[in-house]
Structure 1
Amino acid sequence: MMFMCKVVTKDFKIIGMKHKGYFNDYGETVPKAAQQFLEYAKDIPNNTGLEVTVYEPPKQPTQLEGIFLVGMLVNEHNDFVPEGMEYMHIQHSYAVIKGKGTEMGNLYSVLDKWILEQSYDRATPEQYIIEVYHPVQDDVEDVEVYIPLKINE
């Protein structure tokens, strides 16, 4: 399957819940946290219905634990943030790829390779890595993976 990678500048407004976990366990802990979060999602004003996960990249190669946030994209921020949640506004330039949620590992590999081939530099660990999930009727959800880039403006 062919994947298309491109560079975009995005403005994310997110309300979600922060979690801490071992990077090696993210395959289990992130979906579990997202599932639990969905029970509270109805309380989020102005939500777009799109789930999102925000990852704080490791600061050192030896780092075992990381912070991630599971939440919803919102159209605009108002002063109401449900208890136990927080609001994040992230604006940056990203390399992005879209595919099926079941192809997550492959999406990251293809995108990382493309970033190298295009001679871009990743803006990690300073900036967050973001995944946005798009529900698809009767099929596996689509996911967009956003890796932050250093773009000279």
Structure 2
Amino acid sequence: MLAKQLLSRSNEILNPTETEIALFEPKKDEEHRIGHYYVGLIVSEKLNEVPTGMDYIEINKSYITTRGNISNLGELHLNLLNWAVEEGYQRDLDSYIIETYHLMGEGDEEVQIYIPIQA
């Protein structure tokens, strides 16, 4: 729903790329059932003017990442989280999880997942 709203207004965004992005609040524990998130487009240059009702967000954090077919989204997340534990990375639960979406042709779409870690 939000992505459709964003795409219907994408002509208002200066310097957009084709890459859609989503930022998700990490689940802090089992009781954390409602969070907030953003959908957007990556832009190629810093914006000085932001369309009404939209936000401009710059991210400068440390992440671990993986990429694969969007139909395997849950498995990709789980494998990346398991790998992080095995490698000794500590998650940063105060920073957004990021996903970027990439059309691959023939209707296929890949997702790149970025899990924030403590530097």
TM-score by length of 1: 0.73
Matches for 1:71-86 after TM superposition, within 5 Å: 71-86=40-55
2:85 alignment partner in structure 1? 116
Indicate the percent of aligned positions where both proteins have the same amino acid.
Answer: 35
**Structure 1: how far apart are the matches of 2:87 and 2:64?**
10
Choose the corresponding residue for 1:98, options 62, 67, 73: 67
**Structure 1: how far apart are the matches of 2:26 and 2:48?**
28
Residue identity opposite 1:147 in structure 2: I
**Structure 2: how far apart are the matches of 1:145 and 1:118?**
17
1:81 is displaced (CA, Å) by 0.8
Contact 1:102–1:140 (8 Å) recurs in 2: no
1:143 alignment partner in structure 2? 111
3-state SS of paired residue (1:65): coil
Choose the corresponding residue for 1:133, options 82, 89, 101: 101
1:94 is displaced (CA, Å) by 0.5
- CA RMSD between the two structures: 1.2
3-state SS of paired residue (1:136): strand
1:59 is displaced (CA, Å) by 4.1
Does 2:37 match 1:61?
no
Return structure 1 stretches of 4+ with deviation > 2 angstroms: 58-61
Question: Runs of 5+ in structure 1 lacking a partner?
Answer: 1-31
Residue identity opposite 1:35 in structure 2: K
Q: Deviations over 1:72-123 (max 9, x none)?
A: 0111222211111000011111010000111100100110111011111111
Residue identity opposite 1:72 in structure 2: L
**Structure 1: how far apart are the matches of 2:113 and 2:81?**
11
2:39 alignment partner in structure 1? 70
2:6 alignment partner in structure 1? 37
Contact 1:53–1:131 (8 Å) recurs in 2: yes
TM-score by length of 2: 0.93
Residue identity opposite 1:56 in structure 2: E
Q: Deviations over 1:19-52 (max 9, x none)?
A: xxxxxxxxxxxxx321221111121101111000
1:8 alignment partner in structure 2? none
**Structure 1: how far apart are the matches of 2:60 and 2:101?**
18
3-state SS of paired residue (1:121): coil
